[in-house]
């Protein structure tokens, strides 16, 4: 049993050629790069504020923060079209915001308010927006993969050009649903992009203690689909891989598996002090902060000014304050709402 | 009107709903080329093609989950579980997703799908192939539970179920596929949540669903010879439940027996008993009784199996004791 943790992975050469990421950097204009930056920063500040609100008792229950992993959600979703579907897990705030949800309605949902994106019925783990095609957060590990297969089936059935992007963690690999879903989507050539966010820990369990094949992208091979491993701390590496995978899916060439190597800066949930990780390991990964990395890259390559980036920082800070104010001032759902929405046909 | 079997009635319903709405499709193990393990989907692949009658690998969890996803994506899947026993592999998707998606997403999503599954015992198929699991689905707000007894109800209830916007667990009984009955032609619908008084009577109410309706009718015939006039109610659906028809009958007869093939303890019939005594206690001349399957896994041996399951003899014995 390996006890060394995930510190070694920081220096491991990732198996992917980064030329696509470099090309993406060159072909993107200032607006696109700044959008990536803004989107990641919005998630980071949102999660920080969520932690604060949780500590103050405004948010309760289970709350799983995405800080550190922003490059995966933002890189992937930026590579999709608006009408593409995204399906996530209980660690979904980042995906939901990246898909275009207003921080107001997400924060209001965390506060349990009637104005929340799920009317206060869902909470942190069950956000949903049909118009944005953000098809939900789910609490059961691996529970979303069969749904993604079905969404892919509906797209193919209706002969539409959309793709389905399904996010899940390393903890889902041992679930039967993972294997069944990869088999089915490969067999039927469904337009699904499976993105495994490998942050090395399923709750407190190291990935190598949970799964016999710790190079998770290799699971693509028995399921006869392309599989790549990308640097999940590099938004452009993720963007490049998802662009390719989505194009394949759209052309009818079926599903792909992308393993994004990343790290969650905080514990599994708000109640987890992450004692199974060393502070040293956490520091190593914080030095690979995807937002700081993009900030440095933008300045180094002179794609925008520091003043412009500072402007974005201020805009994001204001958006978060606005979201909290909106959530605070929103009403709770009435008790008459309790029995509503159990059935669509009532 | 035609005299056709329960199986043919279901086939007709599927055919008509596939013709009527292009979003409807069938998915399951052996539904296409094999024609269905119980031949319910026989002939449909030839008419509608592989896109709409889709054979799947053996992956119940993901077949059902994919049905849910497809429903969320705007289609109307009819997922076939080869038997309800195998459906246990799909329980996470049914209970945690299908039943909850509409609610937990604040009404912003819906799962219009039908999960069809044969169930029931009586053919020496052993413990893992002989279960009646409607109680598990009744104990799950968010899914509807439908159990047709007659061929005409099989057609009418299946068509109605396909047209709903909610997940419907449609439980067929394996012993009923060959039963013949009058089935109206064309677009015949039976609403969910409307029980059927199969036989009027004044002395005792026999409340049942699925195959046990036939046991109840046989018992009623035998009881008539003893001067006991039994009313037989076929619930047709457990959710929505037409308790009003039941209560109206119980207020008239003052005596009730609930007959079901699920296990006695915690079975769906126990819920009916509870509701009757809550709402009609003052009208009861005797405690409400149950006739159900013995609380054991179903044995292989034919005689033992028969003894474990509800039968007309057991119903008659209870009715005689009550009156």
Examine the pLDDT at B29 and tell me if it is beyond 80.
yes
Report if residue B260 sits inside a domain: yes
pLDDT in tens, A268-279: 999 899 999 999
Contact B62 A138 (CB under 8 A): no
Residues B227 and B165 in one domain: no
Report if residue B190 sits inside a domain: no
Residues on chain B touching A339 (C-beta within 8 angstroms): none
Q: Is A177 on the interface with B (CB under 8 A)?
A: yes
Residues B149 and B230 in one domain: no
Contact A184 B72 (CB under 8 A): no
Contact B73 A154 (CB under 8 A): yes
Examine the pLDDT at A168 and tell me if it is beyond 60.
yes
Find the residue in B nearest to A153 (Cα): B70
Find where tokens 């490049």 sit: A240
C-alpha B293/C-alpha B246 separation (Å) is 22
Report if residue B191 sits inside a domain: no
Map out the domains of chain A as residue ranges: 17-269+277-327
Are the C-beta atoms of residues B137 and B91 closer than 8 Å to each other?
A: no
Listed in sequence order, the residues at least 6 apart from B100 whose beta carbon sits closer than 8 Å to its beta carbon are B142
C-alpha A91/C-alpha A268 separation (Å) is 9
Confidence of residue A6 (pLDDT cuts 50, 70, 90): low
Residues B50 and B166 in one domain: yes
Examine the pLDDT at A16 and tell me if it is beyond 90.
no
Residues B179 and B209 in one domain: no
Find where tokens 């009635």 sit: B9
Average pLDDT over residues A337-341: 93
Report if residue B189 sits inside a domain: no
Structural domain span for residue B265: 196-322
Residues on chain A touching B115 (C-beta within 8 angstroms): none
Examine the pLDDT at A4 and tell me if it is beyond 60.
no
pLDDT attached to residue A19: 66
Residues B99 and B156 in one domain: yes
CATH number of residue B68's parent domain: 3.40.50.970
Q: What percent of chain A shows pLDDT beyond 70?
A: 94
Residues B144 and B281 in one domain: no
Residues B147 and B250 in one domain: no
Question: Smallest CA–CA separation between B66 and chain A, in Å?
Answer: 4
Residues B212 and B139 in one domain: no
pLDDT in tens, B49-97: 999 999 999 999 999 999 999 999 999 999 999 999 999 999 999 999 9
Find where tokens 């948010």 sit: A59
Confirm whether B108 is a catalytic residue: no
Confidence of residue A334 (pLDDT cuts 50, 70, 90): very high
Report if residue B39 sits inside a domain: yes
Nearest CA among A248, A236, A250, A262 for reference residue A20: A236
Q: Examine the fold and report which residue of B129, B155, B183 is the final residue of a domain before the chain moves on.
A: B183
Residues on chain A touching B88 (C-beta within 8 angstroms): none
Residues B108 and B207 in one domain: no
Residue-averaged pLDDT of chain A: 94
Report if residue B224 sits inside a domain: yes
Find the residue in A nearest to B76 (Cα): A154
CATH number of residue B204's parent domain: 3.40.50.920
The CATH T-level fold of domain A17-269+277-327 is: Rossmann fold (3.40.50)
What is the greatest pairwise CA distance in chain B? 58
pLDDT attached to residue A256: 98
Residues B141 and B21 in one domain: yes
Residues B154 and B281 in one domain: no
Smallest Cβ distance to A341: which of B68, B107, B164?
B107
Residues on chain B touching A157 (C-beta within 8 angstroms): 25, 51, 70, 75
Distances (CA, A) of A142 to A8, A61, A168, A305, B144: 27, 21, 7, 42, 25
CA atoms within 13 A on the CB side of A6: 26
Question: Smallest CA–CA separation between B84 and chain A, in Å?
Answer: 19
Report if residue B42 sits inside a domain: yes
Residues B179 and B204 in one domain: no
Number of domains in chain B: 2
ipTM tops 0.90: yes
Report if residue B44 sits inside a domain: yes
Listed in sequence order, the residues at least 6 apart from B21 whose beta carbon sits closer than 8 Å to its beta carbon are B76, B162
């Amino acid at each position: 049993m390996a006890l060394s943790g995930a510190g070694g992975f920081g220096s491991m050469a990732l198996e992917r050629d980064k030329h696509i990421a470099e090309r993406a950097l060159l072909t993107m204009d200032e607006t696109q790069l700044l959008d990536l930056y803004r989107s990641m920063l919005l998630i980071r500040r949102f999660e920080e504020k969520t932690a604060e609100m949780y500590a103050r008792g405004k948010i309760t229950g289970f709350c799983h923060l995405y800080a550190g992993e922003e490059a995966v959600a933002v890189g992937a979703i930026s590579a999709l079209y608006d009408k593409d579907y995204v399906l996530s897990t209980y660690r979904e705030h980042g995906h939901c915001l990246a898909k275009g949800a207003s921080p107001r309605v997400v924060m209001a949902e965390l506060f349990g308010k009637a104005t929340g994106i799920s009317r206060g019925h869902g909470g942190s783990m069950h956000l949903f927006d049909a118009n944005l095609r953000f098809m939900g957060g789910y609490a059961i590990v691996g529970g979303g993969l069969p749904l993604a297969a079905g969404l892919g089936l509906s797209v193919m059935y209706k002969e539409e050009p959309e793709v389905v992007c399904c996010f899940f963690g390393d903890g889902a690999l041992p679930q039967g649903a993972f294997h069944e879903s990869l088999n089915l989507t490969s067999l039927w050539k469904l337009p699904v992009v499976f993105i495994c966010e490998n942050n090395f820990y399923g709750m407190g369990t190291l990935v190598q203690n949970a799964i016999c094949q710790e190079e998770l992208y290799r699971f693509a091979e028995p399921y006869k689909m392309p599989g790549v491993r990308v640097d999940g701390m590099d938004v452009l590496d993720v963007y490049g891989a998802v662009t390719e995978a989505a194009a394949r899916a759209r052309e009818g060439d079926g599903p792909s598996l992308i393993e994004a190597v990343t790290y969650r800066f905080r514990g599994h949930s708000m109640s987890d002090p992450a004692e199974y990780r060393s502070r040293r390991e956490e520091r190593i990964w914080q030095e690979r902060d995807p937002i700081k990395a993009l900030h440095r890259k933008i300045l180094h390559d002179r794609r925008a000014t520091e003043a412009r980036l500072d402007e974005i920082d201020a805009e994001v800070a204001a958006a978060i304050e606005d979201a909290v104010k909106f959530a605070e001032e929103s009403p709770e759902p009435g008790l008459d709402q309790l029995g509503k929405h159990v059935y669509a046909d009532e | 009107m035609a005299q056709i079997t329960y199986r043919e009635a279901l086939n007709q319903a599927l055919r008509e709903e596939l013709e009527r709405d292009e979003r409807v499709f069938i998915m399951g193990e052996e539904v296409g080329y094999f024609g269905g393990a119980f031949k319910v989907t026989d002939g449909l692949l030839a008419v509608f093609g592989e896109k709409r009658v889709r054979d799947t690998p053996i992956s119940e969890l993901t077949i059902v989950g994919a049905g849910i996803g497809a429903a969320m994506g705007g289609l109307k899947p009819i997922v076939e579980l080869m038997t309800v026993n195998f459906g246990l592999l799909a329980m996470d998707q049914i209970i945690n997703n299908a039943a909850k998606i509409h609610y937990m997403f604040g009404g912003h999503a819906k799962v219009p799908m039908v999960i069809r599954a044969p169930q029931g015992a009586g053919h020496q198929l052993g413990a893992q192939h002989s279960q009646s699991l409607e109680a598990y689905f009744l104990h799950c707000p968010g899914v509807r539970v439908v159990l047709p007894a007659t061929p005409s109800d099989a057609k009418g209830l299946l068509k109605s179920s396909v047209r709903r916007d909610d997940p419907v667990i449609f439980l067929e009984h394996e012993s009923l596929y060959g039963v013949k009955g009058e089935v109206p032609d064309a677009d015949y619908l039976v609403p969910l949540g409307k029980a059927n008084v199969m036989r009027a009577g004044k002395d005792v109410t026999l409340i049942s669903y699925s195959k046990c309706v036939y046991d109840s009718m046989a018992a009623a015939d035998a009881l008539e010879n003893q001067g006991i006039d039994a009313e037989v109610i076929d619930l047709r659906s457990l959710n929505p439940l037409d308790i009003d028809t039941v209560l109206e009958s119980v207020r008239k007869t003052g005596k009730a027996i609930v007959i079901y093939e699920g296990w006695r303890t915690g079975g769906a019939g126990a819920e009916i008993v509870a509701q009757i005594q809550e709402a009609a206690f003052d009208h009861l001349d005797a405690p409400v009784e149950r006739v159900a399957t013995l609380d054991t896994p179903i044995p292989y041996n034919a005689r033992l199996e028969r003894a474990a399951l509800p039968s007309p003899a057991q119903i008659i014995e209870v009715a005689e004791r009550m009156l």
